[in-house]
Copies of this chain bind each other. A is one copy, B any other.
């Protein structure tokens, strides 16, 4: 015996939080909702994470650490293989967005749920979350921007940044999948 039993309270809170923050946003998700969904006690969130703010940051960090490393790994690998020659822009795009989309198939890494949460969070109203996200992203974003600059030496940098923005917006909106305009088909 010696039953594992707990099935990890911490992890269950993170899973429930991820799903509920995705569905209702940060402000719209109460800790009562999270803990009842996770079938743990209300006080458990504060015990394990300290606060609701710290909880959502941990929800993101759990997935982003891997995503950041993977994106970086893929980029460096491509650059090494190219041996000094410039990468094709499509390669860089695939390194950034392809890596993200492959998370959708990986339930261990959050799957579609986390992808949607991430997509919606780019326009999340709560400022501390956007700030936190920007900070988490900063290093990798800068590396990819540099890669684009090198791959497209004739395109003004500001133009590249805009294109990156547009791709990111299109992707995140498609992923968020809110279907605000579904109308009737």
Contacts and interface: CB of A to CB of B under 8 A. Distances in A.
Nearest to A139: B183
Interface stretch (A32-40, A101-109, A172-180): A172-180
A174 B183 contact: no
A130 B177 CA distance: 11
B134 A182 contact: yes
A173 B122 contact: yes
A134 B178 CA distance: 10
A120 B161 CA distance: 20
A44 interface: no
A125 interface: yes
Interface in A117-165: 119-126, 130, 133-134, 137-138, 141-142, 161-162, 165
A173 B174 contact: no
Interface SS of chain A: helix, strand, loop or mixed? Answer: helix
B184 A137 contact: no
A181 B185 CA distance: 34
Contacts of A123: 119-120, 122-123, 172-173, 176, 178, 180
Contact of A181 (B119, B168, B171): B168
Interface of A: 23-28, 119-126, 130, 133-134, 137-138, 141-142, 161-162, 165-174, 176, 178-185
Given A27-B125, A134-B179, 17 more contacts: A24-B125, A24-B126, A27-B27, A27-B28, A122-B178, A122-B181, A123-B123, A130-B180, A134-B182, A137-B181, A138-B184, A141-B181, A165-B174, A166-B170, A169-B170, A170-B170, A172-B173
